[in-house]
Amino acid sequence: MTTSASPLEASESAPALRSILLMHIPKTAGTSLFSLVENEYKAGEFCATYPDWEGVKATIAGFPVNHPMQRAVIGHFMYGVHEQPELARFLAPRVEHGVFLRDPVRRVVSHYNYMIGSTHPIHQRLIDQHPTLEGFLDHIWARNAQSYFLVGAGLASVLTERLALDRLQRNFDAVGLVERFDESVVLFAWRFGWRLPYYVPPRNTTEPAPGRIHAEDLDARLVARIRAANSCDQAVYDLALEQFDAQCVEVPNFSERLARYRNAPILRRSVAAA
């Protein structure tokens, strides 16, 4: 991951001089991350690009010229959105990126379960077309989705493992893991200057539904097929997993910060992000 900023710069730079872009790849703890953002920034200091960048572009383009600089942006956007003119004029000169990654098998299973329980017409139609998890692997949403977000829309058609790994290492200041959510939050807090007055438990927006699948119950053949269909995602996840502990070591008094966060009052407020 990028080391362009020293630990002191990363944790103590003036908020007004930087904007944090938090990429929410579907089914990677984005609802919990949104809760943190809501609690860390005042209304008007951050914006959310849901359901996607194209869907909110006109809204952001309509911000008045005196609209506050956006200290944080969170949502379903691909890398490069900070260069879009509608958003760029409301960002600080210094832009930093954070992202959560998830084991590819668990992410694909979670995405499939989410659509099974969804009433959205697009999701219902997709499940009608791909009624099984194995069939869902034929859909683009189940094939290297994390890597597509990392490299950006303009490069999605030429996605390679090397391209995805290079983007992750060069352009992301903090990389969290869904499977180590609390530790990742502490890492993000140090990198981005968050206070963490409350503990935010990891949330799952997928409601229990008939046909819900558990990754632990999959047979080895299907697991192997999912990993093969997500080879780029597997490579970036493996790199993030390999380097995660080294990121945490950079944080002064990491164990104490983690214990303090876990012992903080629980934030129970519900949020709209999914």
Which CATH number belongs to the domain containing residue 94 in this structure? 3.40.50.300
Task: Check residue 12 and give its pLDDT.
Answer: 44
Q: For residue 97, which phi and psi values (nearest 5 degrees)?
A: -120, 140
* 172 falls within a domain: yes
For residues 194 and 39, what is the distance between their CA atoms, to the nearest angstrom?
Answer: 9
Residue 241 lies inside a defined structural domain of this protein: yes
Tell me the pTM.
0.90
The number of distinct structural domains making up the chain is: 1
Q: Is residue 268 part of a domain?
A: no
Query: For residue 267, what are the contacts with CB-CB under 8 A and spacing of at least 6?
Result: 35, 39, 198, 199, 200
Of 128, 106, 103, 107, which Cα lies nearest the Cα of 118? Answer: 128
Residue-wise pLDDT tens for the chain (274 aa)?
A: 764 444 434 444 444 589 999 999 999 999 999 999 999 999 999 999 999 999 999 999 999 999 999 999 999 999 999 999 999 999 999 999 999 999 999 999 999 999 888 888 988 898 899 899 999 999 999 999 999 999 998 888 899 999 999 999 999 999 999 999 999 999 999 999 999 999 999 876 555 566 689 999 999 999 999 999 999 999 999 999 999 999 999 999 999 999 999 999 998 764 444 4
Closest CA to 20 of 32, 33, 8: 33
Residue 270 resides in a domain: no
In a domain, 269, yes or no: no
* Residue 195 belongs to a domain: yes
245 occurs within a structural domain: yes
**Residues spanned by the domain of 154:** 7-262
Where does the chain have alpha helices with state H? 7-12, 30-40, 53-61, 85-88, 104-116, 121-129, 133-136, 145-151, 161-171, 181-192, 220-229, 231-249, 254-262
Specify if 271 maps to a domain: no
Phi, psi for residue 43 in degrees, rounded to 5: -55, 135
